[in-house]
């Protein structure tokens, strides 16, 4: 029963001017170490809320969350977040943005040379060795998101949390970064939770897809196992019957059973 990441009977309510708004209700989810989970649903279904709860950026109003056997109480570098809008500090170079994280996590145990080495390795891992000393406004959106991923990975988190990480990127850059992320996560054996509204992205990257019902009081509708062998290749999969079937399952859930009324 005790999974690496455990979400038990979680409820999240917000106080609004119109009274209490229940965003999430009775959310139960267990995630194994090394698993890649996608959370998909229509906008407003509370999928980002669920991610923020695991990150500890907000506190659940009911139920409990655990990570590696310990209750989640507040944010911490063991649950690194890749933010949708990259959230790089504009006055720091790519190197310094990552170094800030590395220094925080390893600064007590390691000397400066080691910290710099870790920072460099993280940036090289995402293919940004050449742009290390550039400021965020000097690089493209895709590169910024790479730095965001490098920053999160450099902390060697127990869980990698990705909040629509490629949502703001163009389709070509997105595909490229998805492949990169797949390669990196496979190489590091990371546990990851990704919020997305891109069906292909979810099927391509995930071991399981968590599909959310529509809010208010949203909860997990279905969990879909993606038993496609890894490494996965997007070109080969496009023709693969299993891939097409899985993709169809998610679309069925989103547009037939839980169609969102036009907002």
Contact between 168 and another protein per CB under 8 A: no
Pick 64 or 89: Cβ nearer another protein: 89
Q: List the one residue out of 250, 210, 209, 203 whose CA is nearest residue 228.
A: 203
Sheet hosting strand 70-71, strand order edge to edge: 19-31, 5-16, 62-67, 70-71
Contact 189, 35 (CB under 8 A): no
Nearer to another protein, 155 or 185 (CB): 155
CA distance 3 to 6: 6
- Interface residue with another protein, options 30, 44, 63, 75 (CB under 8 A): 75
Under rule CB under 8 A, residue 219 binds another protein: no
Nearer to another protein, 155 or 205 (CB): 155
Nearby residues of 58 by Cβ (< 8 Å), 6 or more positions away:
12, 49, 52
Binding to another protein by residue 5, rule CB under 8 A? no
Closest contact distance (angstroms) between CB of 81 and another protein is: 5
Nearer to another protein, 88 or 204 (CB): 88
Residue 126's nearest CA partner among 171, 188, 33 is 188
Site for another protein in 119-148 (CB under 8 A): 137
User: Which parts of 82-101 interact with another protein (CB under 8 A)?
Assistant: 83, 85, 87, 89-92, 100-101
Q: Which residues pair with 188 in a beta bridge?
A: none
8 A C-beta contact, residue 103 and residue 121: no
> Does 80 participate in binding another protein (rule CB under 8 A)?
yes
Q: Are strands 36-40 and 79-82 parallel, antiparallel or unpaired?
A: unpaired
- Residue 97 CB, nearest approach to another protein (Å): 9
Sole window of 35-43, 68-76, 123-131, 139-147 interacting with another protein (rule: CB under 8 A) = 68-76
Question: Quick one: tokens of 34?
Answer: 């090394």
Q: Does 57 bind another protein (CB under 8 A)?
A: yes
The candidate with the shortest Cα–Cα distance to 64, out of 26, 8, 5, 23, is 8
Closest approach of another protein to the CB of residue 248, in Å: 36
- Residues in touch with another protein (CB under 8 A): 55, 57, 74-77, 79-81, 83, 85, 87, 89-92, 100-101, 104, 137, 155
């Amino acid at each position: 029963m005790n999974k690496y990441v455990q979400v038990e009977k979680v409820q999240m309510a917000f106080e609004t001017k119109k009274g209490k708004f229940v965003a999430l209700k009775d959310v139960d989810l267990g995630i194994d170490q090394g698993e890649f989970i996608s959370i998909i649903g229509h906008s407003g279904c509370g999928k980002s809320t669920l991610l923020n709860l695991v990150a500890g950026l907000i506190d659940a109003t009911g139920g409990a969350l655990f990570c590696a056997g310990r209750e989640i109480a507040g944010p911490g570098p063991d649950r690194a977040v890749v933010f949708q809008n990259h959230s790089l500090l504009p006055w720091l170079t790519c190197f310094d943005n990552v170094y800030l994280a590395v220094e925080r996590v390893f600064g007590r145990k390691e000397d400066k040379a080691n910290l710099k080495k870790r920072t460099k390795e993280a940036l090289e891992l995402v293919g940004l060795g050449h742009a290390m000393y550039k400021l965020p406004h000097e690089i493209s959106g895709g590169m910024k998101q790479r730095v965001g991923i490098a920053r999160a990975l450099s902390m060697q988190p127990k869980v990698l949390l990705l909040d629509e990480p490629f949502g703001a990127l163009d389709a070509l850059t997105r595909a490229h970064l998805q492949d990169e992320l797949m390669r990196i996560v496979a190489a590091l054996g990371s546990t990851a939770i990704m919020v997305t509204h891109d069906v292909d992205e979810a099927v391509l990257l995930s071991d399981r897809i968590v599909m959310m019902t529509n809010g208010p009081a949203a909860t997990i509708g279905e969990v879909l196992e993606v038993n496609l062998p890894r490494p996965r290749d997007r070109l080969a999969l496009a023709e693969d019957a299993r891939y097409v079937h899985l993709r169809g399952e998610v679309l069925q859930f989103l547009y037939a059973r839980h169609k969102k009324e036009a907002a």
